[in-house]
Every structure is written in C-alpha cells, then in structure tokens.
Chain A
C-alpha cells in the first residue's frame, strides 16, 4: 500500500499522559499536513511541515502540541498532558508539492479517559 500510513489507528490515554501520533507520507511526497476532526465538526488544519521544517503552525494550539518531520522517519504529532478535549480523530495528509492535491491517511482516533 503506497498511501499515507498513520499509526496507531486507535490510541487511548489517561488525562495527563502524552500521546504520539505517527504519519508516513506517500512515496515521493515531502509535504505533510495534520488536521483534527472533532465529533460533528469538519476537519481543521493544524500544521504544515516539510522535511525538518515547520512551514505553518497557525492551527496548532499554543500549548502542549508539537509536530516534527525529521530527515529520516515519519512525521510525529505530539500532545503532552492530554485532556478530555483532545479526544478527536487526527488525520495526516501529504502532497508532492505545495500546489498539488493532498492525500489523506485513515487517521488516528484518540480517546482520553
């Protein structure tokens, strides 16, 4: 499967723990985007990264959230000290270049107990 791969598909954390979500873009894609989908709401942009660089993080909450896309390995979305309101589906998308369409993975569903 050459599509966008996200893992884990489901993640359960207790309040105060850390959540790490991983995303491997499609082969040949160097642009990665993270979106969040809250229950009964549309997808909302969080952050846009290229290899080793954060290009736009205007949709990221100011605290507890961070993202990286290292030279080797997948992109990581990290949520520290999770709270109930972080429960959502987190989707990663990738594209070949800035003006090409974005293709999505099947998401990570995060549940906070």
Chain B
C-alpha cells in the first residue's frame, strides 16, 4: 500500500464548476499537508500549506484536512481554464531535523471553456 493515495484522473469539468480533489494517507504521524499545482514542463507550485485539521481558505481555493480519517481535500471554486494542470497532494513529518515530502501520484485536471 502506498503511503499517499491520489486518484490520477483525468478529471474534466466545465468552466465555473466546483472541483474536489482528494488524497488519503496511511501514516498517522504526518504533520504537514500541502497541495501543489504543476503545469506541463514546469515545477510544482505551492498552493496550500497547513498543519492542522480543519479548513484553510485562500481565494478560490480551500484545503481541508481530516486527520482522524487520514483524508485531505482541495476545493476549487469558480474553476477557470487556467486551472487546468496536474494537482499534487504532499505530506510530511519532521524526522531528525529533516522534512521530506511524500507525494501522491497527481490528478490531471482539465477545465473546459
């Protein structure tokens, strides 16, 4: 079993729709939870970073963490064609001073005009 599971998609939705992206994880020791967006041939771009259960909102993006269920989500409201990208969840813990990220496989999202 992978430490972090993410549905690779692809996911295709019309412009303006609400998008829900999800990841589950098996290691209850994870402390930090992140969502990255990656455009083709580019590096991952940090969207959201949190370390507690609950919701965190930033513009059209909301990150949700449920540590009891080991489940994180990213919601995108009023989706735009420019949101078309691969979305990566990542999580980590500090061990002996090192924070190494464990990534999901990534979900490929397409927003259709």
A residues near B (Cβ < 8 Å) are 4, 6, 33, 35, 41-45, 48, 55-56, 58-59, 91, 93, 95, 98-99, 101-107, 109
Contact = CB atoms under 8 A, between A and B. Distances in A.
A98 B43 contact: no
Nearest to B49: A101
A55 B96 CA distance: 9
Contacts of B42: 106-107
A99 B34 CA distance: 12
Nearest to B100: A45
A54 B87 CA distance: 30
A interface secondary structure, majority: strand
Categorize the interface residue count of chain B: 20 to 34
Ranked nearest first, the 7 interchain pairs of A and B with the lowest CB-CB distance are: A104-B43, A56-B98, A45-B100, A42-B103, A106-B43, A101-B49, A43-B103
A55 B105 CA distance: 26
B100 A42 contact: no
Residue from B41, B88, B96, B98 having most chain A Cβ neighbours under 10 A? B98
B97 A55 contact: yes
Contacts of B101: 33, 35, 43, 45, 93, 102
A56 to B, nearest CB: 4
Nearest to A3: B43
B17 interface: no
Contact of A99 (B4, B6, B88, B99): B99
B15 to A, nearest CB: 27
Interface string B30-48: 0010101000011111100
A4 to B, nearest CB: 7
Interface in B92-112: 94-106
A104 B45 contact: yes
A4 B88 CA distance: 19
Nearest to A101: B49
B94 to A, nearest CB: 6
A107 B42 CA distance: 7
A6 to B, nearest CB: 8
A105 B96 contact: no
B101 to A, nearest CB: 6
